[in-house]
Amino acid sequence: MICFSHTSGRYLQALATIFLVSAVSGCASFKEVKSFASLSSNAASHGALTKDYIGALDRRKQYQPEKFHAGLDAQKVRREAQRASLDLLQQSVTDYMQGLNSLATGDVRPYDRSLKDLSSDLNKATLLTHDEKEAVGALSIILARAVTTVYRLHEIRKLIHDGNQPLQDVISATRKIVMKGMIADLQIESALVGRYYDNFMLAPDNPVEPVAMALAKEARTEALGRVNSRIQSARSYDVVLEKIAQGHQYLYDNRDMVGNKEFDRQLKPYVDGLRGAYRNLLGGSP
């Protein structure tokens, strides 16, 4: 063994770098970031809503005189043309959250497989004893994982920093479409359904048939109930989007603390809120 005197400064500096990297990564916790991103990626896309928005025009034909059907068909064509853009809005949030989830998950398994090659290199290092080879190999794997974690932490913070504003804008646009467009449009459907059955039951000169009236009343309640459950589902989706936006804003505001265990605890209520909203959406979907 030699004396370290000539090189001890640089050697210690290198070791300090290694231990610093290991220490930082040793504390990193992405558990709740991972949960938030995973839940968000599942909850952000609600394809049924777009399908329902386009399908509404066909549904409404039964409640309107035939002379209006051509207009409904023309409007359906306009909505069909919006389908790809509507899907893309939702899909972009899903893609973004999948990216965040993958970074937070950081699959190191393939990386460990690559490190197995190291053992053959170590075996060729004939100047090392068996124990020394074991120790160097173990340390190398720990170190390699540590730098990966530091890199992930940096990339997660960068992604949250760069992604927050466009994400908030995209979610805001989607919420506006859902609340002001789709739900308002479903309220029109509700008016059309009510009007259709009211005509049947109340129009002048209609014969009063008690059985037919009772059936019409029942059918009116059922049809309005179906529209109402569509409205509820759209509202639940809006709440999910609101929770995703709030959670990500919290991530952005505290991005320097990402990886910290205390931050993980603080993020948990946002994750729980999103989970509850998503369950509500799944439970209430028509």
Stretch 167-186 residues interacting with another protein (CB under 8 A): 167, 169-170, 173, 176-177, 180-182, 184-185
Residue 216 amino acid letter: A
Q: What is the closest distance, in whole angstroms, from the C-beta atom of residue 142 to another protein in the complex?
A: 10
**Residue 257 burial class via C-beta count within 10 angstroms: exposed 0-12, middle 13-18, buried 19 and up:** middle
DSSP annotation of 45 reads -
> What's the min distance (Å) between Cβ of 279 and another protein?
26
Query: Minimum CB separation from another protein for residue 64, in Å?
Result: 5
Three-class SS state of 5: coil
Comparing CA positions, the residue from 92, 102, 94, 90 lying closest to residue 178 is: 90
Q: What is the DSSP letter of 183?
A: I
Residue 135 Cβ, how far from another protein at the closest point, in Å? Answer: 9
CB 57, CB 8: distance < 8 Å: no
- Structural tokens at position 275: 């989970």
> Under the criterion CB under 8 A, does residue 49 sit at the interface with another protein?
no
Footprint on residues 17-36 left by another protein (CB under 8 A)? 17-18, 21
Q: Which of 88, 212, 214, 282 binds another protein (CB under 8 A)?
A: 88
Stretch that binds another protein, among 38-46, 89-97, 235-243, 265-273 (CB under 8 A): 89-97
Does 96 interact with another protein (rule: CB under 8 A)? Answer: yes
223 binds another protein (CB under 8 A): no
Q: What SS3 state is found at 67?
A: helix
Closest CA to 104 of 256, 258, 214: 258
Interface with another protein in residues 124-163 (CB under 8 A): 125, 127-128, 132, 136, 139-141, 143-145, 147-148, 150-152, 154-155, 158-159, 162-163
- Lookup: tokens for 86: 């509507």
